[in-house]
Structure 1
Amino acid sequence: MTMTARSDTQITMQNFQNHPYPRVYSVHELLAGLRWVMTRLKELWSIWVGGRLSPALREQVIVAVAQTNECSMCEHAHARHALAAGVSDAELAALENMDEEAFDRATWLAVAHARSLAKADFAPGEGNELEAAVVEVLGPQACRDVEDVARVMTVANRVANTLNALPARRRGNPVPGSRLADELLINLFFLPGAWLGTLIAATRQRKSPLAVWRQARSGISSHGTARAEFLGKKAAD
C-alpha cells in the first residue's frame, strides 16, 4: 500500500529531534566504527565516486545527519557541498526544521530515514516502516546507499565532535560523556588530517586556514541567513 505524505510525517516526526549534545567517540567505539567503514569501502566508492546516489540527495542526507549528531563542523562543510550540488539555501534551511513541504517525497523519505537511524544509533529494527517507504519510492539499492551515507557520516561526525571536545574542555565546558583520554588519543590521530582538510578548504574558498578552521568550529555556514529567515517565517506562520 502506498504511504501518504501525512503518514510519513506521523512515523518520523518523533525521531527528528537532535541529540541534546554533540555525540563523541571513545577509542573502542571509534575502532568499531572504522571496522565498519572498511567493510563498506566498495559501496562507499560507488556512492561518492561512481555517482550511484545523486550528489544533491547525498549531501542533504549528510547535512541532516550532521544536525542530528550536533556536528556543526560537518554541517558547515557539507552545506557548501550541497549548494555546489544544486541544493538551494531554502532547502538547506528546511532541513533544520524538517519542513516536509519543502521537499519532494523521495528526498523527504530519504532524509527522514537517515535522521531516524542516526538518532537511534543504527539499532537493529529501528526505522523499519520508513525503510519500507524508501524502498518503495527509491528502490532497495538507493535505500541501502542512504543508510551507508548516514552511517559513514555518523562516524565522521563523532570524530569531529571528539576533536572539538578537547578545546571545549580547556574552556571549562566539557562535553557530557566525553573522556579526556579518548579526546587526547583521537586528537593525536586525526588532528593532522583535519588540518590538511582545512588547508584544502582554505585554498578553494580563498581564505586563511585559521579563518576556515574557526568558521567550521563555530558552525557558521553560508546558508545561516537563509535558515534564520526560514525559521522566522515558520514561527510567524
Structure 2
Amino acid sequence: MCCIGSKWKYILVVVVVVVVVVVVVVVVVVVVVVVVVVVVVVVVVVVVVVVVVVVVVVVVVVVVVIVVLVVVVVVVVVVVVVVVVVVVVVVVVVVVVVVVVVVVVVGVVVVVVEVVVVVVVVVVVVVVVVVVVVVVVVVVVVVVVVVGVVVVVVVVVEVVVVVVVVVVVVVVVVVVVVVVVVVVVVVEVVVVVVVVVVVVVVVVVVVVVVVVVVVVVVVVVVVVVVVVVVVVVVVVVVVVVV
C-alpha cells in the first residue's frame, strides 16, 4: 500500500508537471501567433495607406497638369484670335481708305476733264451743247459716286463676313479643346480611382486570408499539443501503474 501510494504521488507530480509544460507551451504558441497576426495586420495597413497616398498624389498631379495645359491652350487660342482680328481690321481699313482715295481721285479727274471739255465746247459750240455737256457731267458724277458707295458697301460686307467666320472658327476650336481636356481629366480620375479600389480590395483579402490561416494554424497546434499531453499522461500513468 505504501508503494502504491508513492506511485500515485509520483503519477500526480508527473501529470502536474506535464500539464504545466503543456499550458506554458500553448500560452507561448498563442502569444507568438497573436504577435505574428498583429505584425502582419500592421504591415498590411501601412502598405494600404502608402498605396492610397501615392495614388492620391498621382491623381492630384495629373489633374493639375491637365488644368495647366487647358489654361495654356485657351490663352494661346485667345491670343491667336486677337491677332487675327487685328490683322483683318487693319487690312479692311487700308482697303477702305484706298477705295475712297481712288474714288475721289477718279471723280476729281473726271470733273476736271469734263470742265475742260465744257470750256472748249462753250468756246466752239452753242449754249445747247453746253447744257448737254453739263447734264452728262452730272450723270457721270452721280455714276462715280454710286460706284464708290457700292464698292465701299461690298468691302464692308466682306469684312463683316470674314470677322464672323474667324470668330465662329475660334469659338469652335476653344469648345473642342475644352471638351477634349475635360474628357481626358475624367478618364484619368476614373482609372486612378478604380486602381485604388482594386489595390485596397486585394490588400484586404490578403490580410483576411493571412489572419484565417494563422488562426487555423494556432488551433491545430493547440489541438496537437493537447492530444500529445493527454497521450503522455496516459502513457505515464499506465507505466507507473504497471
Greater gyration radius: 2
**Would you say same fold, with TM above 0.5?**
no
Which of structures 1 and 2 has the larger relative contact order (alpha carbons within 8 angstroms, sep 6+)?
A: 2
More helix as a share of residues: 2
**TM-score, length of structure 1 as denominator length:** 0.20
TM-score, normalization: structure 2? 0.20
